[in-house]
Structure 1
Amino acid sequence: MTSAVVAFLSLVVACEKSDSASAQGGSPVAGTGVPHLVDLGADKCIPCQMMKPILDDLEKDFAGRMDVTFIDVWKNRDEARRFGIQMIPTQIFYDEKGVELYRRSGFIGREDILATWQRLGYEFGQ
């Protein structure tokens, strides 16, 4: 096993839901006034690499209406614990006040991201 895989497996074992800020009653994302999508992954993760252009396009297409943040949890292990990440990629959808609305893991395409926002009450269009 590569050292990155060993480090990730150690991270997964160390991360417990009770360590996340949201489990402690706080939000790890400050309210920004607009909905916020946080994608937690790693630069060397294949599904994460596939999502990068999708996230970049969302950030550009909906600037000022939606914030998009990518966090590399292999480079920022404290962030993985802070967000309670157990698998990558993980996407967390926050409202404009920083309240977590929905969380999912695995690759997700643009249409599914926008459909999720719509189910959560936010209309961005395709």
Structure 2
Amino acid sequence: MSPRHLYLAILLLLALATAALAAEVEGIDLGAEAAALGQPLVADFGMNRCSSCIKQSEAIEVLKGETLGRVGWKFIHIGEDEKTAARYKILLIPTLIFFDEHGVERYRYVGYMDAEALREKLAELGLLQGS
């Protein structure tokens, strides 16, 4: 095999390996979900045994009724959906990611955010249309 063919074979193998790794980390495309809904989406990354995550879920429950039909809410359990957590590079929990109605990530917050702070952040980002 000529050096040129060997070089091309190595490049091909590297490209295939990179594609395989990318496919493994794929996870859920939350931006696409927001765009499909046609409304903002707040993704809550956490676990059900984390005290701050439990408090975060309770704060979100307060807002779900207020924002019904205007904001989507999605909980991602990082122990059960590691690919989505990896896709969004989640290092600490709870982590909230705010997507607009076009699927663009607008804001990311690590830590607990109470219901009032969540409401204010949604308004500040212009994600509470129709209020």
**What's the TM-score bracket when you normalise by the shorter of the two chains?**
0.7 to 0.9
Taking a change above 3 Å as real, the CA distance of residues 28 and 124 of structure 1, as seen in their structure-2 partners, is closer
Please report the TM-score for the alignment, with normalisation by the length of structure 2. 0.70
For 2:31, the equivalent position in structure 1 comes to: 29
For 1:78, the equivalent position in structure 2 comes to: 83
SS at match of 2:98: strand
Q: Is the 8 A contact 2:97 2:105 kept in 1?
A: yes
Q: Is the 8 A contact 1:114 1:125 kept in 2?
A: no
SS at match of 1:86: coil
Unmatched tracts of structure 1, length 5 or more:
1-19, 22-26
1:113 to 104, 118, 122: 118
User: Identity over aligned residues, as a percent?
Assistant: 31
When the two structures are aligned, how many residues end up with a matched partner? 103
Supply the AA of the counterpart residue of 1:37: V
Between Structure 1 and Structure 2, whose CA radius of gyration is higher?
2
- Of Structure 1 and Structure 2, the greater helix share is in 2
Cα distance in 1 for residues equivalent to 2:92 and 2:107: 15
Unmatched tracts of structure 2, length 5 or more:
1-24
Aligned CA-pair RMSD: 2.4
Deviations 1:10-39 (A, max 9, x none): xxxxxxxxxx87xxxxx5421121111101
